[in-house]
Amino acid sequence: MENPAVPGSIPGPRDSFAHCPRCGASSAGNSHNRAFVCANCGFTLYFNIACAFGGLITDADGRLLLVRRAKEPSKGLLAFPGGFADPGEDAESGLRREVREEVGLSVEVTDYLCSHTNLYAYKEITYPVLDFFYLCRVVAPNDKPLTLQASEIAGSEWRDPSGIDPDEIAFASQQWALRCYREKIK
């Protein structure tokens, strides 16, 4: 399968600042593709991609855990638990942390699945993101309801992978991960 590119233009430094954040000079003439470079004082700020990860967590019946997003972007759509890497954090540790925070589960990362680019629009800035997806299993399964992080998560569902409509899933990257997962378990 070919990993499709995310549609839409990637925002760059030229679109983000009208003035230099350090000296206040006009940013007109800033033409660098990846960095804001001030023509007046030389201040340079690279706009690197953010790194995020999602977990395809299965239960004993092979169902996948999905959470319903409580906030924009893609509020109300389903997603795999996960989030952005903190500075100094590797993907596996970050994924375990995010899953613990979002649904209160301890998981073990068992395998890498795929990656996909994403655009994450949050409060007037659109961040270019690289999403990594991993297969996970629950370390200590129990029948108790999940502990959901109310600020981020409006609900959770265990779903048969074959019964999930991609249109229910937030972001092209997460839809791609679902597709890769279905190919893998065929």
Closest CA to 171 of 121, 103, 112, 135: 121
Q: Based on the shown chain and the rule CB under 5 A, indicate whether residue 28 belongs to the binding site for Zn ion.
A: no
Task: Give 22 or 179: the residue with its C-beta nearer to Zn ion.
Answer: 22
The span of 3-11, 33-41, 47-55, 140-148 binding Zn ion (CB under 5 A) equals: 33-41
> What's the rounded Cα separation, in Å, for the pair 102 and 153?
7
Residue 32 or 68: the one with the smaller Cβ distance to Zn ion is 32
- Residue 145, number of CB atoms within 10 A of its CB: 9
169 HSE (CA, 13 A, CB side): 23
State in angstroms the smallest separation of the CB of 84 from Zn ion: 28
Tokens of 5: 């590119």
Closer to Zn ion by CB, 43 or 158: give it: 43
Instruction: Note whether 41 and 120 are within 8 A (CB).
Output: no
Q: Which is nearer to Zn ion, 26 or 110 (CB)?
A: 26
**Closer of 26 and 93 to Zn ion (Cβ):** 26
Quick note: the x/- pattern for Zn ion over 37-66, rule CB under 5 A, is: -x-xx-x-----------------------
Figure out which of the listed residues 23, 50, 121, 139 binds Zn ion, where binding follows CB under 5 A. 23
Instruction: Read off the tokens for 171.
Output: 């972001």
List 69's β-bridge partners, or say none.
Answer: 153
Footprint of Zn ion on 93-122 (CB under 5 A): none
Alpha helices in 28-106 (DSSP H): 91-103
Tell me 19's DSSP state.
B
Binding part of the chain for Zn ion, among 22-30, 72-80, 121-129, 167-175 by CB under 5 A, reads: 22-30
Residues near Zn ion, by CB under 5 A: 20, 22-23, 25, 38, 40-41, 43
